[in-house]
Structure 1
Amino acid sequence: MNKLRSLSVILTALISACTAEHHTAIGPSKDSSTAGQRLFKLHNDARRDGLPCGTGEYSSKPLAWNERLAEAAFRHAADMAENKFIRHRGSDGSSSKKRISDSGFAWSKYGENVAYGHRGPEVIVAKWLSLTQHCQNIMDPDYTAMGAAMVDGYWTAVYAKPRLPVIN
């Protein structure tokens, strides 16, 4: 039953993607956070429905939107757009770990998905869900917070588990 439900979620996302209108490039503006919020909703829909990722099947609690993680995602998406590349390491050599830390988010675990494409968040999430490591980032029950952004078709989603304060 879960496999059937998982398949229906993926098929719905793909059908939506195929019928979605073509979106023009979105620059660093309010539209970037709107795209990030749409990505966020699709992530939580997938987590609610549960999906197989590689050899495991996941169902997770919803992620919380985090502005610091969204800023880290935006910085990386803008860097990729400006320098025309798609990878996790920034043009300045920065890692996702550094960008998340620089945003002020105190993390104990983190992950990042990146992509390029102008067809909209439905296509991006469907593609990530079809790739084991990306799917595991989306579905990982340890992650409780997320931020995301898109700049000129370059997408970044950042996931994290907050570091708990040390109690003496």
Structure 2
Amino acid sequence: MLRGWLTIAAGLLAALTSWAARAQSPAEAQVLAGLNAARAQGVTCPASGRRPVAAALTASAAHALAARNQAAHMSSRAGVTHVGAGGTTPRVRAASVGVRAVSVTEIIYMGTNPQGALSWWLASPLHCAILTDPRYTHAGAAVVQGARGTAYVVVLSSEPQ
């Protein structure tokens, strides 16, 4: 009898974990929508000039999970960093959740709200070039609210294999 209940509990836990990995908050959806709007119209990046129109990023639950893990890590440390728990890199974090990619990139932000992330990234030469790069076609966004209302925003994107 106990074995049966444990099997059911394990199945429910797996289903909930899978659902949580796919669930996207309105703020996370807004971040991806903002990136896709910028990509659709083309933008002028500081230093590199006009960037061509790029296809919309395809939302990916695996990418979002890797992004969410990093946003939570940054929130726990109260700072921004591309170095993850245990010293992991964006590429290692992506692979750990099943992302198979030629190239992986991660853009991060910490501010009072997630809406400021896109403006900040577009004003940064490096971040603007990354978010408009047409090679990156799949992405996941994460927004974690930290202490004192700080928003930690991470977008992990990749060029699939």
Q: TM-score, normalised by structure 1?
A: 0.75
Residues 1:32 and 1:79: Cα distance change in structure 2 (over 3 Å): farther
Matched, 1:158 2:122: no
In the alignment of these two chains, the number of paired residues is 135
| Distance in 1 separating the partners of 2:114 and 2:26 | 11
Residues 1:114 and 1:48: Cα distance change in structure 2 (over 3 Å): same
Residues 1:31 and 1:126: Cα distance change in structure 2 (over 3 Å): farther
Deviations along 1:25-58, one digit per CA (max 9) or x if unpaired, are xxx9999632211100000000011012232422
| Distance in 1 separating the partners of 2:29 and 2:44 | 24
Moved more, 91-100 or 40-49: 91-100
Residue type at the aligned position of 2:44: P
Asked whether the equivalents of residues 83 and 91 of structure 1 are also in contact (C-alpha less than 8 Å), the reply is: no
| Distance in 1 separating the partners of 2:124 and 2:157 | 16
Matched, 1:128 2:121: yes
Asked whether the equivalents of residues 44 and 62 of structure 1 are also in contact (C-alpha less than 8 Å), the reply is: yes
Residues 1:126 and 1:31: Cα distance change in structure 2 (over 3 Å): farther
| Equivalence map 1:70-85=2 (5 Å) | 70-85=64-79
| Alignment correspondent of 2:41 | 49
| Distance in 1 separating the partners of 2:63 and 2:135 | 16
Normalized per residue, the structure richer in helix is: 2
With a CA cutoff of 8 Å and minimum separation of 6, indicate the structure with the bigger relative contact order: 1
Asked whether the equivalents of residues 32 and 151 of structure 1 are also in contact (C-alpha less than 8 Å), the reply is: no
Q: TM-score, normalised by structure 2?
A: 0.78
| Alignment correspondent of 1:118 | 112
Q: How far off its partner does 1:68 sit?
A: 0.3
- Give the secondary-structure state (helix, strand or coil) at the position aligned to 1:85: coil
| Alignment correspondent of 1:3 | none
Larger Rg: 2
- Give the secondary-structure state (helix, strand or coil) at the position aligned to 2:87: coil
Deviations along 1:50-90, one digit per CA (max 9) or x if unpaired, are 01223242221111100100000000000110121211011
| Distance in 1 separating the partners of 2:29 and 2:81 | 22
Unaligned runs of 5+ in 1: 1-27, 164-168
Unaligned runs of 5+ in 2: 1-19, 146-150
- Give the secondary-structure state (helix, strand or coil) at the position aligned to 2:139: strand
